[in-house]
């Protein structure tokens, strides 16, 4: 069974204080690893897809990296508007399903 574990559960940063969020996963065959951002009361917003170990993707202050066992979401010089819950999900090869298996997320709060 595919599993995703995210840490920490919650993270409080001051504006400009860089940090990383971790996503550890076990999957039979990784088709893709996804990062989403979710604001309270809203649907998950797609950020990145990573497909193979060593791959990196960047968007503004966010950079996602992937190894064979985990992914990191690096946040550089965060701003208060980066406050949200960040969700990691995996999609496995095989069968006819394209379901995502999600972790429980990291709640990020960025203060002035």
Partner 1 sequence: DSGVTQTPKHLITATGQRVTLRCSPRSGDLSVYWYQQSLDQGLQFLIQYYNGEERAKGNILERFSAQQFPDLHSELNLSSLELGDSALYFCASSAAGTSPVQYFGAGTRLSVL
Query: Could you say whether residue 92 binds partner 1 (CB under 8 A)?
Result: no
Name the minimum Å distance from CB 15 to partner 1: 28
Shortest gap between Cβ of 67 and partner 1 (angstroms)? 20
CB-neighbour burial class of residue 59 (10 A; exposed 0-12, middle 13-18, buried 19+) = exposed
State the minimum distance, in angstroms, from the CB of residue 104 to partner 1.
4
Residue closer to partner 1, measured from CB, 65 or 106 = 106
22 close to 72: Cβ distance less than 8 angstroms: yes
Sign of CA dihedral 62, 50, 102, 19: negative
Among 25, 35, 36, 86, binds partner 1 (CB under 8 A): 36
Measured between alpha carbons, how far is 44 from 100 in angstroms, rounded to an integer? 12
CB of 7 to partner 1, least distance (A): 14
Asked if 42 is part of the footprint of partner 1 (rule: CB under 8 A), the reply reads yes
Distances (CA, A) of 18 to 13, 46, 93, 97: 8, 21, 34, 37
Q: Does 40 bind partner 1 (CB under 8 A)?
A: no
Residues in contact with partner 1 by CB under 8 A are: 31-32, 34, 36, 41-46, 49, 87, 89, 91, 95-105
């Amino acid at each position: 069974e595919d599993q995703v574990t995210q840490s920490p559960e919650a993270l409080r940063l001051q504006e400009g204080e860089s940090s990383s969020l971790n996503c550890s996963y076990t999957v039979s065959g990784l088709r893709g690893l996804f990062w989403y951002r979710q604001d309270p009361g809203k649907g998950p917003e797609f950020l990145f897809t990573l497909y193979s170990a060593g791959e990196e993707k960047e968007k503004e202050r966010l950079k996602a990296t992937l190894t064979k066992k985990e992914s990191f979401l690096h946040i550089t010089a965060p701003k208060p508007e980066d406050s949200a819950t960040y969700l990691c999900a995996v999609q496995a090869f095989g069968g006819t399903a394209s379901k995502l298996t999600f972790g429980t997320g990291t709640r990020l709060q960025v203060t002035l």
